[in-house]
Amino acid sequence: MKNSYRAVKVNPTKFGMDQMPFLLMVLPVALFMLLPLVYIFNHAFKPFDELIEYPPRFFVRRPTLVNVYELFQTSTTTGIPVSRYLFNSIVVTIVVVVLSIFLSTITGYALSKLKFHIKGTISKINTLAMMFVGTAVIIPRYIIIEQLGFIDSFYVHIIPVIAIPVGLFLVKQFIDQIPNELLDAAKIDGASSFTIYLKIILPLIKPAIATIAILSFQTVWNNADISATYINTDSLKTFAYYMATLSSSSNVVAGQGMNAVASLIMFLPNLIIFIFLQNKVMSTMVNSGIK
């Protein structure tokens, strides 16, 4: 049986003259929105005298890499190099993104296509979880993490954030649109549930997977609260935490160059991942929305 499921393409692949009026309206807005991005890149490579210049200049006149060298050659008061914080962030982010994708997709497949007794209860719990913001569950989360023995452990960066209720909801809505006949045909051919998940479900929900990747990436990469709340050992803290301490340090003027480069490092991965995955994110919103 041929696959009758096809994701809706939101962005057109070809340019037509009928799009010109919309382009003329959108282009000035897009250029205006690009200004902060251009400023972040210019600001990171400004020498010290241009960083503290008043009034500030938008474009750098004498680009330099001194700020980059200073950032990675500087150690904290405990002797931990900045590269250690960056390494921790990269490892934690990769692990969380992979686990979040696996957990959301396999759970979404089970809730959408498999039959078991507590299926409706799990769906209701997930919907209820979307109603709570992080600050509302700080105390119970801390108690649970402490009882599990994750305080001052690398696991505390991973375990509490791998479940994404919004991601599970989007994935389930996306999988609901896959015809049951397609899965029945695979079962007749002898495919197991896990084989169907790997060979059929995952290839058909790539837009939803991209959405989960962005959500989990931004949640972990930009998160400094876990290091500040649950971690006491500096070598286990992340780059986002270092950014927070750098911005709030007493020697703010002298650290302007390092702060500018650190801000660029924090921002650049978010920009790259969104550029490559934004088309699939738009498709997810269309296919998992109102039917």
User: What is the SS3 string spanning 59-128?
Assistant: CCCCCCCHHHHHHHHCECCCCCEHHHHHHHHHHHHHHHHHHHHHHHHHHHHHHHHCCCCCHHHHHHHHHH
Question: What confidence score (pLDDT) does residue 13 get?
Answer: 63
In a domain, 36, yes or no: no
Report residue 186 as tokens.
Answer: 């695979």
Question: What confidence score (pLDDT) does residue 78 get?
Answer: 59
Listed residue (255, 216, 262) closest to 239, CA to CA: 262
Alpha-carbon radius of gyration of the chain = 23
Quick check: 4 and 179 in contact, CB under 8 A?
yes
Question: What confidence score (pLDDT) does residue 3 get?
Answer: 47
Q: Which domain holds residue 146?
A: 74-287
Question: How far apart (Å, rounded) are the C-alpha atoms in residues 212 and 209?
Answer: 5
In a domain, 89, yes or no: yes
pLDDT values of the chain reduced to their tens digit, one per residue, 291 residues: 444 444 445 555 666 677 777 778 888 888 888 888 888 888 888 887 787 777 878 888 888 888 888 777 765 555 778 888 889 999 999 999 999 999 999 999 999 888 888 888 888 888 888 887 777 788 888 899 999 888 988 899 999 889 888 888 888 888 888 888 888 898 888 888 889 999 899 988 888 888 888 889 988 998 888 988 899 888 889 988 888 777 655 455 556 778 888 888 888 888 888 887 776 666 555 554 444
In a domain, 30, yes or no: no
In a domain, 44, yes or no: no
In a domain, 63, yes or no: no
Number of domains in the chain: 1
What is the identity of the amino acid at 147? Q
Question: What confidence score (pLDDT) does residue 95 get?
Answer: 95
In a domain, 226, yes or no: yes
Question: How far apart (Å, rounded) are the C-alpha atoms in residues 50 and 58?
Answer: 10
In a domain, 67, yes or no: no
What is the identity of the amino acid at 197? Y
In a domain, 48, yes or no: no
CATH number of the domain residue 94 falls in: 1.10.3720.10
